[in-house]
Amino acid sequence: MKIAVAGTGYVGLVTGVVFADLGNEVICVDIDPSKVDAINKGQSPIYEPGLDELLQRNLEEGRLSATTDLAQATREAEVVFICVGTPPTETGEPSLAQVDAAAAAIGQALNGYKIVVNKSTVPVGTGDRVRRIIEQNRTAPYDFDVVSNPEFLREGSAVHDTLNPDRIVIGADNPRAAMKIVELYAPLERPMLITNLATAEIIKYASNTFLALKISFINAVADLCERTGADIVQVAKAMGYDPRIGSAFLQAGLGFGGSCFPKDVQAFAHTVQRYELDPTLFHQILAINDARPVQFVSRIRERLGGLSGRTIGLLGLAFKPNTDDIREARSLEVIRLLLHEGATVKAYDPVAMPRVQAIYPDLIYCRNAYEVAENADALALITEWNEFRQLNFERIRNAMRQPNLFDGRNLYDPQRMRKLGFYYYGVGRTAENGEFKTVL
């Protein structure tokens, strides 16, 4: 099939490359010529395991190319994917400016029947909006259909997730269009759900909001664990054995960041409100999440008797492991709070340091965890990169001014850390001496 993909962010580029790998002819389109150049040279503008190899192979075999010309790509394609960004506006509602612009360009370029597939995360009703914009812009009454095909890929495993999705959701009001997209995905042999446009659009937001809800839920319970002498890790483990609950996304810690959850929950709350329904539940998910870094920094402050003049070392800066993405990363809020109170901040992240450096040029950036530990009054794990799992903790302890370990992701075994001579704090894990326990 001949496919055009508008937008070469995480979703667009990975989708384009994977469809090319399945034997389709794919043209990736971006308004940014530097991204287009990089792609045509076989260099992915984003860091994603496995993407470079796949990109290079499909470029070499002539199934993939990139351009800035959406009109030309549309004219050549049977199916046009819209994978542009929908960044939040000041109100928290997603901006549809890029979706509108892509729809207008596609409309003007229509030269025969096309299927326009929206993969960008958009509020319910956007499919209809795209249809109207295309109708208003087409130069002759060429036929077309709009399909919603939300993406559930995670950063860091985007290629894997696109090749092995849990489900493929195809929302279309015309079965002919739906069947064409089914054909496109058939080689993946994964469960497909064919539904109408509005349902597909809501599935995306409902799924992400529910995952964010699980995280905020477990974090709210973690706070109760700290006050009562309970251990959130064991609570979550026991809950997870119930298949109705499931063990995924019950890891307490610093909360969620990234380009999806914070903005999707906020957007969903707006949509709910727009239809005159009560958004309290969704607002609460965000409020609990926002409080996580504040509470974490409080624990460090309490232990050190103040933060002014103290040196705090941070392990990990990316919003999660295996990505250089720092959008809504918890590290940024932790850094802001620490600096505000006069602490000196040292940090190390395997790939995300340059991005944080652009925002906070004055931190002490280190080459590894050991350098971060040197003369630190506290070491705080922010992102659970694999390389932090098996550190030489005797070396870390000896390098520190005071051996205080704050585990923002509950990565370490509290008993082991205490045996090694650390003061250890894990989120929702009461201190051995019952320090966080409140006696009523």
Judged by CB under 6 A, the residue of 6, 153, 159, 335 near ligand UDX is 153
Judged by CB under 6 A, the residue of 30, 93, 145, 155 near ligand UDX is 155
Residues of span 91-110 touching ligand UDX by CB under 6 A: none
Of 391, 424, 399, which Cα lies nearest the Cα of 410? Answer: 424
Residue 13 or 70 having the CB closest to ligand UDX: 13
CA-CA distance, 161 to 364, in Å (whole number)? 36
- Helix, strand and coil content of the chain, in percent to the nearest 5, comes to 45, 15, 40
Which value, in Å, is the radius of gyration of the alpha carbons in the chain? 24
Q: Find the part of the chain contacting ligand UDX (CB under 6 A) among 38-46, 195-203, 253-261, 358-366.
A: 253-261
Residues 6+ apart with CB under 8 A from 141: none
Rule CB under 6 A: is residue 114 a binding residue for ligand UDX? no
Distance in Å, CB of 331 to ligand UDX, minimum: 10
Residue 322 or 344 having the CB closest to ligand UDX: 322
Tokens of 140: 């002759």
Of 33, 11, 42, which Cα lies nearest the Cα of 154? Answer: 11
State the DSSP H helix or E strand holding residue 358, giving kind and residue range, or none if neither: helix 353-359
CA-CA distance, 149 to 82, in Å (whole number)? 10
Distance in Å, CB of 394 to ligand UDX, minimum: 28
Rule CB under 6 A: is residue 261 a binding residue for ligand UDX? yes
Residue 150 or 403 having the CB closest to ligand UDX: 150
Residue 152 or 268 having the CB closest to ligand UDX: 152
Rule CB under 6 A: is residue 256 a binding residue for ligand UDX? yes
Rule CB under 6 A: is residue 319 a binding residue for ligand UDX? yes
User: How far, in Å, are 12, 52, 116, 206 from residue 102 at the CA level?
Assistant: 13, 26, 10, 25
Q: In what order do the strands lie in the sheet with 423-426?
A: 364-365, 344-348, 311-315, 378-381, 404-407, 423-426
Angle, CA 112 vertex, CA 111 and CA 115 arms, to 5°: 110
Distance in Å, CB of 1 to ligand UDX, minimum: 24
Judged by CB under 6 A, the residue of 138, 263, 270, 320 near ligand UDX is 320
Active-site residue among 28, 83, 225, 260?
260
Judged by CB under 6 A, the residue of 15, 44, 86, 208 near ligand UDX is 208
Distance in Å, CB of 4 to ligand UDX, minimum: 22
For residue 260, indicate whether it is catalytic: yes
DSSP codes joined into one string, 216-231:
HHHHHHHHHHHHHT-B
Rule CB under 6 A: is residue 215 a binding residue for ligand UDX? yes
Active-site positions? 260
Which residues of this protein are in contact with ligand UDX, per CB under 6 A? 151-155, 208, 211, 215, 249-251, 253, 255-258, 260-261, 319-320
